Amino acid sequence: MKGLIIKDFMAVRTALPTLSVMLLLPLLIVIPMAAISGGLAVQTLCVCVTALLCIINSVVGMSFGSYDEQCGWNTFGCALPVSRIQTVLARYGAGLLLLGASLGILLITQMVCFLFTGEQIVWYYPAVLIILTLLTEGVMTPVIYQFGAQIGGYIFAALFMLAGIGGTALGRSRTMEMSDEAFDAMIENGLQTHLFAKAAALTVLGSMILYVLSVPLSIHIFKKKEF
């Protein structure tokens, strides 16, 4: 199974230079700004890096299946002395390794910001990265196994747009119903009562459960596929 994981990362190695540049640009631009202006630039950097890592995890995770289809790997893989269960488990293992590397990059970013400005390392950026990565891969992996990478990409784009539109509309409707003072009080109360931390912990747990539950679903789908 180790070889299957290596195969997934070798397949996307050509995209690594582009992805590296995507991550380095915010660091090169915002870190000097952070040294001058402090907190706001640091928050901007952490937000940018977190968002980029979420996008990279989604793109790379879907590219695993896309490259397999392009080179006819599934047909070849079924002839190898590995089971289809091992093939699916390797795909999920590659996703977890990718998430682990992303968390490491995010932690290094926060540590660099701490050295430059003294801003404390916070928990919510890793939480957002974990939640979005596990939800995306937990949902899209069985979808790609069922419908293929191309149709899966269309479904992912549609879900992403719906989530963005729905989240924006919901946020605006909520904020328009209350005054600025009431909104600030709600945020302050959430921070003091650790409500946001509890909600984030529950959401992380839910995303982990979804990710685990998607494994047998993907195995069931892949075992019935004919190549």
Q: How many angstroms separate the CA atoms of 64 and 88, rounded? A: 11
Cα pseudo-dihedral 192, 111, 51, 147, rounded to 10:
-110
Q: What is the Cβ-side half-sphere exposure of residue 126, based on CA atoms within 13 angstroms?
A: 17
- Is the CA virtual torsion 209, 212, 215, 216 positive or negative? negative
Q: How many angstroms separate the CA atoms of 93 and 61, rounded? A: 11
Instruction: Tell me the average pLDDT across 17-35.
Output: 68
Read off the amino acid at residue 94.
Answer: A
> Which pTM was predicted?
0.80
180 — pLDDT class (breaks 50, 70, 90): low
Cβ neighbours of residue 178 closer than 8 Å, sequence gap 6 or more: 186
Average per-residue pLDDT for the chain: 78
Instruction: Tell me the average pLDDT across 127-137.
Output: 91
Q: Quote the pLDDT of residue 168.
A: 63
Contact 64/90 with Cβ under 8 angstroms? no
Q: Compute the residue count for the chain.
A: 227
Name which of 15-19, 23-27, 67-71, 94-98 the model is least confident about.
23-27
DSSP label at residue 193? T
* pLDDT per position as a tens digit, 8-18: 888 777 777 77
Q: Quote the pLDDT of residue 224.
A: 87
* pLDDT per position as a tens digit, 78-125: 777 888 899 899 999 999 999 999 999 888 888 877 776 666 667 788
Q: Quote the pLDDT of residue 37.
A: 58
Token reading at 181: 């003072």
**Burial of residue 2, with CB atoms counted within 10 A of its CB: 0-12 exposed, 13-18 middle, 19 or more buried:** exposed
Q: Quote the pLDDT of residue 209.
A: 95
Nearest residue to 211 via CA among 128, 102, 133: 133
Residue 183 predicted with pLDDT over 60: no
Contact 106/125 with Cβ under 8 angstroms? yes
* pLDDT per position as a tens digit, 186-225: 555 555 666 667 788 889 999 999 999 999 999 999 988 8
Q: Quote the pLDDT of residue 117.
A: 65
Q: Quote the pLDDT of residue 217.
A: 94
Instruction: Tell me the average pLDDT across 131-160.
Output: 85
Cβ neighbours of residue 70 closer than 8 Å, sequence gap 6 or more: none
Q: How many angstroms separate the CA atoms of 174 and 127, rounded? A: 23
Residue 160 predicted with pLDDT over 60: yes
Higher-confidence residue of 177 and 206: namely 206
Q: Return the SS3 of 178.
A: coil
The alpha carbon of residue 135 and the mean position of all alpha carbons in its chain are separated, in whole angstroms, by 8
